[in-house]
């Protein structure tokens, strides 16, 4: 081989490495599932020629270069080629050492879960009216009845709860997310429509609660029409902000609310898997972290950190449920030791319902 040929080969290899690096970064920005990002980059580098760069003719090299540049510069083309690659990709992630998770499984689970989530809508409570209500201050492992007495607002916000056998209320007319069936109209609710969200099927199940929603609370549920023509929540629950973020991340790949996010050199996935963005019950999470670290919990600090939650049971009982759902539906990754949500200063394993992933795959993926 001539010296000029060796120089040309070195240039081709350098060019392919540079283009491959740029393409990999673009795939990361597109939030391509990290389990497949490297594999996809390799597939695109190989391109339609099906051969290594060093063995290509000048025409094939130029064609491959143009293909990669188009992938890097044109996001819609890149998305189209990514979906096409997923349809033929045989790369699998292993779960429980025996079961393969291929792209088609993630796609099926995502489609099924999103179909359940799509019927849910969100509103902020404007006012509520209760009959024969009781007011409580709830501290760790204790409840103090305060009746109609005035309580300091900060104390009531952190520890307070009002219960009543009968109540009703309405929401602000403004929609929280697009697609609301009654934009510009208030939506009404009653205690008879209260429900719980199943953490496996993500369907609402009627469960009458006596906890009265407060002004400013976020409600989530199914909006119907009453006999009077008014819009009403036929089923609803007091919703955590984390579930709203989870719902948005699962259903919207590019939502307007994401544009204000400053990730501080983190990838979007790293951003969502830290802090309280998707992790719920910060008090419970703190307690688990302290126990795992072998530290003794000070009763005074426990009381100061405690916050009484009146949101859906899933956000109270499990720390990582919405992290795991977003990971599976949006990023096509199963929860594993490598992608445990990060909590500074503590080590905490995935905190999920028993057999959650296996049940999710069986219910939504047909496995």
H or E element, residue 304: helix 299-305
Rounded to the nearest angstrom, the gap between the alpha carbon of residue 141 and the centroid of all alpha carbons in its chain is: 30
285 vs 292: CA distance, rounded Å: 11
3-state secondary structure of 1: coil
3-state secondary structure of 313: helix
pTM here is 0.79
Please check whether residue 335 is in contact with residue 352, taking contact to mean a CB–CB distance below 8 angstroms: yes
Tokens representing 122 are 């969100």
189 vs 126: CA distance, rounded Å: 11
Residue listed under structure tokens 């956000």: 315
Closest Cα partner for 131 from 157, 159, 169? 169
Instruction: Give 157-194 as a DSSP string.
Output: HHHEEEE-SEEEEEE-SS-SSTT-SSTTS--EEEGGGB
pLDDT (tens, 9 = 90+) of the chain, 367 residues, equals 343 455 555 656 667 778 888 888 888 777 676 667 777 888 887 764 545 555 567 777 777 788 888 888 887 788 778 777 765 554 333 334 334 577 888 989 999 999 999 999 999 999 999 988 999 999 877 888 887 777 888 888 899 999 999 999 999 999 999 899 999 999 999 999 999 999 999 999 998 889 999 999 999 999 999 877 899 999 999 999 999 999 999 999 888 888 777 766 678 888 899 889 999 999 988 888 888 777 888 888 888 899 999 999 999 999 999 999 999 999 998 888 788 888 766 667 889 988 899 889 989 987 6
Specify burial of residue 236 (Cβ count, 10 A radius: 0-12, 13-18, 19+): buried
**Per-residue CA distances from 68 to 8, 11, 17, 81 (Å):** 19, 16, 11, 11
Please check whether residue 257 is in contact with residue 124, taking contact to mean a CB–CB distance below 8 angstroms: no
Rg from Cα positions in the chain = 26
190 vs 198: CA distance, rounded Å: 21
3-state secondary structure of 120: coil
261 vs 255: CA distance, rounded Å: 11
3-state secondary structure of 243: helix
């Amino acid at each position: 081989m001539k010296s000029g040929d060796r120089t040309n080969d070195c240039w081709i290899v350098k060019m392919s490495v540079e283009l491959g690096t740029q393409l990999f970064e673009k795939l990361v920005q597109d939030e391509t599932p990290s389990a497949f990002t490297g594999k996809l980059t390799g597939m695109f580098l190989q391109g339609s020629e099906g051969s290594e760069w060093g063995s290509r003719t000048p025409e094939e090299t130029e064609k491959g270069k143009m293909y990669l540049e188009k992938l890097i510069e044109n996001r819609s083309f890149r998305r189209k080629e990514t979906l096409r690659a997923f349809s033929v990709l045989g790369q699998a992630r292993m779960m429980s050492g025996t079961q393969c998770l291929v792209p088609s499984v993630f796609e099926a689970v995502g489609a099924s879960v999103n179909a359940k989530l799509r019927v849910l809508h969100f509103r902020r409570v404007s006012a509520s009216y209760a009959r024969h209500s009781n007011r409580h201050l709830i501290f760790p492992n204790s409840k103090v009845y305060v009746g109609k007495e005035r309580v300091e607002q900060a104390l009531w916000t952190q520890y307070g709860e009002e219960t009543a056998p009968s109540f009703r209320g309405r929401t602000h007319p403004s929609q929280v997310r697009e697609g609301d069936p009654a934009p510009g109209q208030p939506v009404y609710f009653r205690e008879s429509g209260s429900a719980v969200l199943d953490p496996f099927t993500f369907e609402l199940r009627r469960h009458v609660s006596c906890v009265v929603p407060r002004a400013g609370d976020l409600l989530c549920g199914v909006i119907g029409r009453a006999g009077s023509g008014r819009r009403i929540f036929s089923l609803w629950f007091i919703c955590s902000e984390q579930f709203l973020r989870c719902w948005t991340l699962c259903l919207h790949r590019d939502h307007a609310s994401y544009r204000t996010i400053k990730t501080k050199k983190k990838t979007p996935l790293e951003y969502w898997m830290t802090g309280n963005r998707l992790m719920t019950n910060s008090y419970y999470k703190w307690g688990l972290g302290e126990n795992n670290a072998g530290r003794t919990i000070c009763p005074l600090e426990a009381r100061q950190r405690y916050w009484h939650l009146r949101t859906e049971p899933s956000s109270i009982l499990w720390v990582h449920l919405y992290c795991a759902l977003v990971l599976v539906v949006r990023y096509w990754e199963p929860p594993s030791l490598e992608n445990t949500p990060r909590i500074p200063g503590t080590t905490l394993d995935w905190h999920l319902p028993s057999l959650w992933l296996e049940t999710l795959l069986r219910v939504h993926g047909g496995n």
